[in-house]
Structures are given as C-alpha cells and as structure tokens.
Structure 1
Amino acid sequence: MSKNNRIAMIVMILIGVAIFGVEMRHLDFHQVWHTLNHMQLQWLVVAFLVMVSSWIVESFVVKIFVQHDGEHLNFKAALRVPLVEQLFNNITPFASGGQPAQLVALMQAGVEGGRASSVLLMKFVVYQFMVLINFVLTILIGFNRVATHFGALAWLIVFGLVIHVVVIIGLLLVMYQYRFTKRLVGIAVRVCGWFIGHERLLRWQEHMDAKIDTFYAESLHLKQEKFKVLRAAGLTLIQLLLYYSVPYFVLLSFGLGRVDLVTVMVSHVMIVMIVSLFPIPGGTGGAELSFKTLFASFVATPSQLVLAMLLWRLLTYYLGIAFGIIALAVPVKRLDHSQQAKNL
C-alpha cells in the first residue's frame, strides 16, 4: 500500500471515530450500558458470517471468470481479490481504487495482465446488471417509505438509478452498436473541446477510443461465455442479497424481532444508492446520517440506534478495511495451469 493510501485509510478511520464520538456524547451512559448487557450476541455472529459469506461468494465469481483452458485459481488467491477490492474501495473517492487493486491482485496470483483485465471487465458488467436489478426492485417496493423519511433528498436515489441505467446503456451500446458508440463519444469529446485545449482534447479522444476498443474486444468473450456469465450473475445476486441483509441481523441483536427482512434490505439498498453519489471514501458521514434517518422507525431508544449504526458500519465498512490489510500481507499462490480445470 502506498504512503498516500495509508494516510487516506488513517484519515477515514479517524473521521469515523470522530463521528461516533459526537453521536455517543449525547447518550446516557447507563442506557448504553443497559443496551449492551441485553444484546443477543448470536445475531451479531450471524451478521459477521453473512458479511464474510458475501466476500466468499464474490471470490467464486472471480474463480468462474478466471477458469479458462485448464487455468485454475485457488480459493485463497480468489478470496484475496474481493478483500483487496474492499480495502481500496473504502479509502478512495467514488471507490475508484477497487478496480486497479483487483487487477494487481490477479496479476500477483499469476493471471496475465490482459486476461486479468478481461476478468474484471466481465465481473464489472455482471455486477452492474445485478445492482441495477436490485435498485429497480427496491424503488418499486420501498420508494414511498424512503420518500416519507427523506423528503426531497429521496430524489437522489432516483438520480443514482438514472446514473446506473446510463452506465448499462453505455455498456450495451459498446457491445452491440460499436461504430455508433464511437461516433457518439467522438461528438461528445469534440463538444468538450470547446472548453479545453487541443492537446488535452487529443489525449481524451485517444483515451476514450482505447477504452471503447478494449471493452468491445472483451465483450465478444461475454457473448461467447453465456453459461459462465449466467453462473456469475446468479452468484453476484446472492452476494448482494447477503450484503443487503447485514443490518437485519444487527437489529435482531438488539431484540427487535418485529423488523421485517425485506423492508430492512430495501432500506439498506437505498442507503447504498445515496452513499454512492458522494465522492467521500465510503460515504463517511452520509452513510451514518442515512442509517439513522431510515432505521430510526425500527429502533426503540437512541442508544440502540447509535449502537446499531456503529455495529453496521463496523461490519460493512471497517471490517473490509481490516480484512483487506490482512489480505495484502498474505503470500499469494500462483495460478494453477493444470491440464484439466477443476470443477467449482
């Protein structure tokens, strides 16, 4: 990890500590102690296992895409990819560091650079489609409830959905309308050229053309690997459902048995959507505020709400940072080029 990344990680942890310090100072200590003493810790264990299981499922998605012509990525190397992704997603704006970190992790495991890029591209496309499906279902099921709590801010969720739809449309255009997409992007870049210098315009045009060409070439693999893509899509859906269910088990640990799993998962999807719109790593600040706003109706006391927010954040954010650091330190076993790929 670079010095800048270490500094970013420390800063985000300190900001998180400060946020929870501010929240805790308004609480009655005796009420907090009483809440802690009556927690059902077995549900916290379940929440921890569910979060870890989501990374394990994602590692099998990596294994599926890497497996090709007898190449077989061992489980430990595959699991290292989502853990490293978690670390760098959580300490970089807009989670921009996750993709390069995964690429390095795969190359360290012996996957050739071009092949690793192809794997990550297919993984990204599948993930975006599954996220979009979840967001659409969530808005159909629970937007009215969120709008009641958030008011005008709820339209950020719609804006986030529009962004994801635009991304998917762009991917599909490259896959099925390659020449049209290049012309469309060329027009957009020329329009941007009205406001930037000629040299920068040429760099942008070259960069965008290279990205489109790369994605189109890799999209041909997607079309040829339909069964592999379907398997990965099914696992990605499971991965997302596991992640979205984490706050449900956190709430159960406080004895809140009346909470509904679907409602909690819908609320969590909405939080993820809102947080993804902000450039702050991990959506720090916005994530905590969104959690308090959406889950206040489930929780009886302020101490339960703040502690639930703390535990949720520890499991879904800081745990990923901790496991990612461990994954960086673990030696990598190189790719197994066996004569016959093992079945997953």
Structure 2
Amino acid sequence: MSRRNWLVLSLMLIIGVGILGYSLRNSNIHLLLQDVSAINWGWMLIALGCICLYLGLEAVVVKIFMNDRHDGFTWKDALRLPLIEQLFNGITPFSTGGQPAQLVAMIQSGVDGGLASSVLLMKFVVFQAMIVVNFLISLLIGFHFIAEKLHALSLLVVFGFLIHLAVIVGLLMVMYWYRFTKRLMNLVIKPAALFMKAKRYERMKIVLNEKVDTFYQESLRMKKDYKKLAKVCIVTIFQLFFYYAIPYFIMLALGIHHINFVMVLSLHVLIFMIISVFPIPGGAGGAEYSFSVLFASFIHSNTKLVLAMILWRLLTYYFGMFAGIVAVFVKPDKVKR
C-alpha cells in the first residue's frame, strides 16, 4: 500500500468515528451499554459467518475461472483477491480501486496480466448481472416501503440501479455488437480530448480499446462454456444472499424478533444501491443514514437502532478492510505457467 492509501484509510477511520459520535448524540449511553451486554453472540457469529461466506464464495468464483487456465493457482491466492478488493473498494470513490488492486494481486501470483484482466472482467460482469437480478426482485418487494419512507432515497435507489444497468448493457453490447460498440465508445470519449493532454488522451484511448478487445475475446470463450458460466452465476447468487442476510441476524442478536426475512433482504439490496451512488469511499454517511431510515420501522428503540447500524457497518465495511490489510502483507504463491 502506498502512503496515499494509508492516509485515505486513516481518514476513513476518522470519518467513521465522527459518524459514530454523531449517531450517538441523542442516545442514552447507559441503555446502549445494556443493549451491548444483552447481545446474543450466537446470532452475531452467524452474521459474521455470512460476511465470511460472502468473501469466501468470491474466492470460489476466482477458482472456477482459474482452474483450467493455471496449474497451481492456490486457494490462498484466490482468497487474497476479495479481501484486497474490499480494502481498495473501501478507500476509493465509487469503489473504483478494487479492480486494479486485484489485477496487481494476480500478477504478483504469477498470472499473466492479460489473462488476469479477462478473469476479473468476467467476474465483474457476472457480479453486476446478479446485482441487477436481485434488485429487480427486491424492487417488487420493498420499493413501495422505501418510497413511503423517504422520496429522496427512492430516487437514489433508481439512480444506482440505472448505473448498474448501464454497465451491464454496455458489456452485453461488447459481447454481441463488438464493432459497433467499439466505434461508439471511441466516439463518446472524443470530447475528453478537449480537456486532456494529447498523450494522456491517446493513452486512455489505447487502454480502453485494449480492455474492450480483452473482454470480447473472453466473452467468446465463455459463450462456449455455458456450464462454467452457470456455475459462477449460482455461486454469485449465494454470495450476495449471505451478504444481504447480515442485517437480519444482527436484529435477531439484539432481541428483535417477528421480522420479515424477505423484506429485510430486499431493503438491504436497496441500501446497496444507495451506497453505490455516494462518491465518498465506502458510501460514508449515506450508508449509515439509509440503514437508520429504512430499518427504523423494525427497530423501535433508538439505542438498538444505532447499535444495529454500528454492528452492520463493522461487518460489511470495516471487517473487509482490515482483512484486506492482512491480505496485502500475505506473500502470494506463484503459479506454474
């Protein structure tokens, strides 16, 4: 990690502490401590297990893609990727740092850069597609709930969905209308030349065209291997399921029962969409606010609501970042070419 990354990480921790302090401003500390002492740690272990399964199943996806391409790409190498992704997604705006960081990690493991890019692109495409599928299901179940609660949040949800949908549409266009999409992309980026130096613009153009070419070649390969693609889609659905289930088990740990499991999952899907449109790394501020607003109907005690939000944030954001710090310093195995 660079010095700049450490500075951003420190800044995000400071912001997190600030948000925590602001959330506790109207809370009774004595009641909060009572709620902490009454936590059912069995349910909390299940919530912890969910985030571990979420990260572990992403490693399974990497292994599925790599099994027939490199002999010796170990489980340790595969597990490093989602952890490093969590760290760099957590310290970059719009989670843009995860993909480049994973590419570096795969190259460190001895994987060819072109192959690593292909695998990461296909993993990204499947992940985005499953997010859209989950969102469409959740939209039918829980969107009326969020629309009633706060109109501004419903607009953010729709905006977040449109971003993810645009990504999927763009990638599908590369797969099925390669030449047209490539020409369209080069046309769309032309105005950028007015605001960039010529060398930088040309470099950007070359990189984007190479990525389009790489993804197209990989898509041709994947279209012939439907079984592998179907397997990755199923694993990714389970991966997202465990992530979306985390708030449910946190509420059970706080003694909040008689809650609708499907509704909680659906609302968490919508929160995921809201976080994706916040430019601040980790969606700081927006994540905590949307959680508090949407789950206030399930958690009537203010101290329990704040505690649930803190526990949720620790598991879904900070746990992955700290695990990623450990993964960065773990020496990768070298694959056999």
TM-score range (shorter-chain normalised) is over 0.9
**Alignment deviations for residues 31-75 of structure 1 (CA, whole Å, 9 cap, x no partner):** 112212222111111100111111111111000001125624221
Q: CA RMSD in A?
A: 1.8
Structure 1 residues 265, 27: closer, same or farther in 2, change over 3 A? same
Counterpart Cα distance in 1 of 2:7 and 2:79: 25
Partner of 1:63: 63
1:244-263 matches, within 5 Å, as 244-263=244-263
Counterpart Cα distance in 1 of 2:68 and 2:267: 39
| Identical columns (%) | 47
Which amino acid is 1:139 matched to? L
1:1-344 matches, within 5 Å, as 1-69=1-69, 71-190=71-190, 202-335=202-335
Q: 2:153 touches 2:290 (CA, 8 Å); kept in 1?
A: no
Aligned to 1:25, what secondary structure does the other structure show?
A: coil
Q: What is the number of residues matched between the two proteins?
A: 337
Which amino acid is 2:96 matched to? S
Structure 1 residues 192, 235: closer, same or farther in 2, change over 3 A? same
For normalisation by structure 1, the TM-score amounts to 0.93
Structure 1 residues 336, 267: closer, same or farther in 2, change over 3 A? same
Counterpart Cα distance in 1 of 2:9 and 2:172: 35
Q: 2:117 touches 2:214 (CA, 8 Å); kept in 1?
A: no
Which amino acid is 2:255 matched to? G
Stretches of structure 2 lacking an aligned partner (at least 5 in a row): none
Counterpart Cα distance in 2 of 1:336 and 1:195: 44
Q: 2:70 touches 2:335 (CA, 8 Å); kept in 1?
A: no
Deviates more, 1:90-99 or 1:213-222: 213-222
Q: 1:189 touches 1:201 (CA, 8 Å); kept in 2?
A: no
Stretches of structure 1 lacking an aligned partner (at least 5 in a row): 338-344
Structure 1 residues 216, 269: closer, same or farther in 2, change over 3 A? same
Q: 1:63 touches 1:72 (CA, 8 Å); kept in 2?
A: no
Deviates more, 1:260-269 or 1:106-115: 106-115
Q: 1:74 touches 1:336 (CA, 8 Å); kept in 2?
A: no
Counterpart Cα distance in 2 of 1:203 and 1:336: 32
Deviates more, 1:97-106 or 1:211-220: 211-220
Q: 2:72 touches 2:334 (CA, 8 Å); kept in 1?
A: no
Aligned to 1:71, what secondary structure does the other structure show?
A: coil
Q: 1:120: how far off?
A: 0.6
Partner of 1:341: none
Q: 1:281: how far off?
A: 0.5
Which amino acid is 1:40 matched to? N
Q: 1:292 touches 1:306 (CA, 8 Å); kept in 2?
A: yes
Counterpart Cα distance in 1 of 2:213 and 2:332: 31
Q: 1:207: how far off?
A: 3.8
Q: 1:66 touches 1:72 (CA, 8 Å); kept in 2?
A: no
